[in-house]
Structure 1
């Protein structure tokens, strides 16, 4: 993880706090990382879901000794239950745990021990110093376990505000100190938090809301697809339709129709992917988050040509 990202920054501080040996790479290179794991007998790795997918789909892992690995700490973006289970089958000695945090709040949740780590796709339980509630985005009322809404947080690590931007600060921090995360989430009855998607990224198909992340995980389960991203595409009748950008696996000739048909068999009609474009690589931030705005701009520029 890059050290300027809140995940990398907190992992750095935690390594110092615990007196761990820390191995830093000047820049990320997948095969070089595997060499580093082998050479220094690395046991713990902070990672994004993109890294987990690399490990699952690359044959390079067979070239290097990965037996020292004991724990992958995953964050920065959601990790699906299916991907986590595939990872566990390939690396049975490795515990994979998820956590959740924000630049504006620091570390919010964590998983402790194998039992909690198996609660995929949850991102764990709240840290002891953090309060949370799920709020109905339409009414502003707090709602109970199992119901989806916006996650609000309060605690000593919450930011004071955005420097020089009072308007943005007022929009995301209320008078009682609650931070409005913009994440569509829910808690289960045992207190485990589940992140569904970003509220701003939900695709509005007619009267329905479609989470891009759900469709992306289904796409990534296809052995012919190396990577994928789903964005809203403007439609005169529906308002928006789900559009997928897909990276084929080397040697694959999967078509637009095959992609759409395979997903249509797995989802409700309103969630179907209705447009597909193929791309060499999905643009992502250093933390592994999909840069959807770049893909939306790309789709709209081609639409206007």
Structure 2
């Protein structure tokens, strides 16, 4: 969005004193009125590439030049065999694989809506997502197939001969439906402070805008970049890396998402892949940055090809950034800022000068505007003044599935999305994240809603009251910690409480510390005073 002719924009910060709006300093981007697959393949045709999709484990390669034919074959077979129609929802429960980019593009070319979910989700979470999106078909693996109910158009197992056969030409002419930019493309899942998962509706325009912004500023290279993605493709961060790298003609090395344990072995596999495939860009979540600076594993591998470490999903501590720079002096650490509701990154550093500014998340992407709003007064603030970050632009979501009230609370009538994060811009238009207004706990870049865990704890007969807070952790960033009021005379202990929760939630939602208290501090309306509990937890920890 361009500033109005009557407003003056500071060329350094992008701030207009008249409108109190921060404008992007990147070049404005126009994009065609087409579907995402059409846009992706038009980019590939205009810049032929030797790049491939590469499976880091099996070393299987699919040249990007084969993608248009494979996507057309898969789309044609899916429509012929499963009678998929425009606006049908396809639920996907699978770890990362080189089949996922093919599947996403094929479904989108049919006008279907892709809805990937975390394979580690609890059964209740999956059941809620199925109820929310009402999918026509599911794509699973042999390990996840049993977790889904029967669906109208059936279930396809990705690691099976049946799926491989769907990639073969069927001989029938493929006539794709007309897909418009305002049509829904994806439903991704984002937890809210209420504890219930929300379905974020992203359109073809949202996805195209996100890719076009990167395309406009990506430096010309003598050879295509090679990106190793170890973040999950169901998360908006991995989802966009997956589509973007294919669209922009880079090789994408695919590795399964990081498991709960075995991080040392995980680093061996990652660094081995960097060496073997001459990886230039590595996309990770913050806990892996911590592991990289703590582990001596890197010394065993030739990492000279690595240029950039892409990091998103949560903030990286300044001490970790410092140690990373000391250990990997020739690698730029690039931290973007974004939400599922903003189709991933709305600010990111560009070039070594911006990425060297410690703690910064870079400048606004193309076509994006921002405001910094004082949460108490509602007034918009100038540079260097912290407040709630509001975002407007073509990357802002369409809304939440079947939740007009939540959508209206998140996006106002002028298109401004309230992020719930306290941030500020400096005099050079660089964004700095200060703290979250929301109560969500960021564990290994996953969002954990305290209310969900509190409800679960309160269901235990030996627990009178409970509250869950974020607790700092060097490896995970934050862990869920519970304050518990026990029934008089109860013998329930920390281990029993943690086991009780662990049996009912996904691994990343486990309670990992327990504190006992006589009462949960609350305000007059019954809202938990989490800051008081955080202070108590810090005081208790300092005595240990």
Q: Distance in 2 between matches of 1:11 and 1:149?
A: 29
Matches of 1:178 and 1:5 in 2, distance apart? 23
| Superposed counterparts of 1:30-109, under 5 Å | 30-106=267-343, 107-109=345-347
Q: For the aligned residues, what is the CA RMSD?
A: 2.8
- Aligned pair partner of 2:255 in 16, 25, 37: 25
Work out the CA distance in 1 between the residues paired with 2:531 and 2:406.
Answer: 29
> 5 Å matches for 1:254-269?
none
Q: Answer whether contact 1:80 1:120 (CA < 8 A) is retained.
A: no
1:116 alignment partner in structure 2: 354
Task: Tell me the distance in 2 between the aligned counterparts of 1:166 and 1:30.
Answer: 43
Change (3 A) 1:42 1:228: closer
Counterpart in the other structure of 2:131: none
Provide the TM-score with structure 1 as the length reference: 0.69
Shift of 1:197: 2.0
Aligned residues: 236
Q: Does the C-alpha gap of structure 1 residues 168 and 30 become closer, same or farther in structure 2, counting only changes over 3 Å?
A: same
Correspondence for 2:401: 163
Q: Within the alignment, does 1:12 sit opposite 2:242 as a pair? A: yes
Work out which of the residue numbers 478, 487, 492 in structure 2 matches 1:229: 478
Over 3 Å counting, the alpha-carbon distance change for 1:121 and 1:155 in structure 2 is: same
In 2 relative to 1, CA 103–229 (structure 1 residues): closer, same or farther, beyond 3 Å?
closer
Change in 2 beyond 3 A, CA 1:18/1:202: closer
Deviations 1:101-123 (A, max 9, x none): 11111220111111101111010
| Residue 276 in structure 1 maps to residue 541 in structure 2 | yes
Are 1:49 and 1:78, in contact at CA under 8 Å, matched by a contact in 2?
yes
Contact 1:242–1:275 under 8 Å retained in 2:
no
* Displacement after TM superposition at 1:142 (Å): 1.0
Q: Which whole-Å deviations, capped at 9, do the CAs of 1:75-99 have from their partners, x for residues lacking one?
A: 1111233221210110111111111
Aligned residue number for residue 252 of structure 1: none
Higher RCO structure, 1 or 2 (CA under 8 Å, sep 6+): 2
Pair 1:24–1:132, CA change in 2 (3 A): same
Give CA-to-partner distance per residue, 1:176-225, whole Å, 9 cap, x none.
Answer: 1110111111111211111112102399xxxxxxxx99x94xx74xxxxx
Whole-Å Cα distance in 2 between the matches of residues 188 and 85 of structure 1?
21
Dislocated runs of 4+, deviation >4 Å: 230-244
Give the Cα separation in 1 of the matches to 2:536 and 2:277. 46
Give the 3 Å change call, closer, same or farther, for CA 186–167 of structure 1 in structure 2.
same
CA distance in 1 between partners of 2:378 and 2:310 (Å)? 33
Partners of 2:374 and 2:380 within 8 A in 1: yes
Task: Return closer, same or farther for 1:50/1:133 CA change in 2, 3 Å cut-off.
Answer: same
**Contact 1:131–1:153, Cα closer than 8 Å, also in 2:** yes
Tell me the CA shift for residue 275 of structure 1: 2.5
In structure 2, the partner of 1:296 is none
Determine the C-alpha separation between the residues in 1 that align with 2:389 and 2:477.
26
Alpha-carbon shift at residue 10 of structure 1 (Å):
1.6
Q: In structure 2, do the counterparts of structure 1 residues 49 and 27 end up closer, same or farther at CA, with 3 Å as the change threshold?
A: closer
- Verify: 1:190 aligned to 2:428, yes or no: yes
41-50 or 9-18, which moves further after superposition? 9-18
| 8 A contact 1:242–1:274 mirrored in 2 | no
SS at match of 1:4: coil
SS at match of 1:67: coil
Evaluate the alpha carbon distance shift between residue 71 and residue 242 of structure 1 in structure 2; reply closer, same or farther with a 3 A threshold: farther
Q: Report the alpha carbon displacement of residue 13 of structure 1 after superposing the two structures with TM.
A: 2.1
The whole-number CA distance in structure 1 between the counterparts of 2:256 and 2:420 is: 33
Report deviation, 1:65. 2.1
Question: Structure 1 residue 165: deviation in Å?
Answer: 0.6
1:162 deviates by 0.5
Alignment TM-score, normalising by the size of structure 2:
0.40
Partner of 1:281: none
Give how far 1:130 is off.
0.5
2:163 matched residue in structure 1: none
CA distance in 1, matches of 2:233, 2:316: 21
Gaps of 5+ in 1: 204-211, 221-225, 245-269, 278-305
Change (3 A) 1:241 1:179: closer
Q: How much does 1:47 deviate?
A: 1.5
2:418 alignment partner, SS class: strand
Query: Which residue matches 1:280?
Result: none
Deviation at 1:272, TM superposition (A): 8.6
